[in-house]
Chain A
Amino acid sequence: AQTVTQSQPEMSVQEAETVTLSCTYDTSESNYYLFWYKQPPSRQMILVIRQEAYKQQNATENRFSVNFQKAAKSFSLKISDSQLGDTAMYFCAFMKRSGGGADGLTFGKGTHLIIQP
């Protein structure tokens, strides 16, 4: 079974600063995806960024980028020029491929990110 660990329950930074959220995972799989999801107070989970395990190049999406270290099983999220709207719970998630298609996501416990004005 896979496990995903987020060691920072809460983080707080000033607007416009850069912040990095940590995530480590444990798996024996070689073919998988990693994701960061954001959950604002509206409760709706929103995909921030995803990374394919076999791609060495780190994924980027505008102000969001990841540092994927496959050997270390580490997948951190960097948010540049943070904005008030980035305040939310952030979940790191793992998905492996099973015989019949994709398995469900395995989530970490989340990091509550607060952007201060």
Chain B
Amino acid sequence: KAGVTQTPRYLIKTRGQQVTLSCSPISGHRSVSWYQQTPGQGLQFLFEYFSETQRNKGNFPGRFSGRQFSNSRSEMNVSTLELGDSALYLCASSATGGVGEKLFFGSGTQLSVL
């Protein structure tokens, strides 16, 4: 069974641009969540999608958005990029997103904003 796939692995953008990151969950998983990892703030929860609906959201500005498609693949979008958005963005999937359920993470997309 293929794991969680995130594309691209690396991305370089400039301030003010927009970026879209992609995440393909494990086959059969319907919940996809996103996390931002930075040296300063550590790992922070962005949002979680289940059956194409955003179910939970972390404390991030509206520039961070996401969506989920009918095949459970998810994308996250960051508009008007700022230097502070430079981070490793991790995607995780689980069968239903239930409390305590094991999350399977991808290897992340490393975003650098210049």
A: residues with CB less than 8 A from B are 31-33, 42-47, 50, 52, 91, 93, 95-98, 100-110
Contact = CB atoms under 8 A, between A and B. Distances in A.
B98 A105 contact: no
Contact of A52 (B3, B50, B100, B103): B100
B63 interface: no
Measured as residues with beta carbon below 8 angstroms from the partner, the interface class of chain B is 20 to 34
Q: Which of B43, B46, B92, B97 has the most CB of A within 10 A?
A: B43
Interface of B is mostly: strand
Nearest to B43: A107
A44 B110 CA distance: 12
Interface string B97-114: 111111101111000000
Contact of B100 (A43, A98, A102, A108): A102
Contacts of B97: 101-102
Contacts of B103: 45, 47, 105
Contacts of A45: 90, 92, 103, 105
Specify the main secondary structure of chain A where it touches its partner.
strand
Nearest to B92: A45
**Residue among A93, A102, A106 with the highest chain B CB neighbour number at 10 A:** A102
Nearest to B105: A45
Contacts of B107: 42-44
A98 to B, nearest CB: 6
B45 A102 contact: no
Nearest to B59: A1
A46 B3 CA distance: 12
A45 B50 CA distance: 21
B100 A33 contact: yes
Nearest to A4: B42
A91 B103 CA distance: 14
9 closest A-B pairs (Cβ-Cβ)? A104-B45, A107-B43, A45-B105, A102-B99, A33-B100, A97-B99, A44-B107, A109-B42, A43-B108
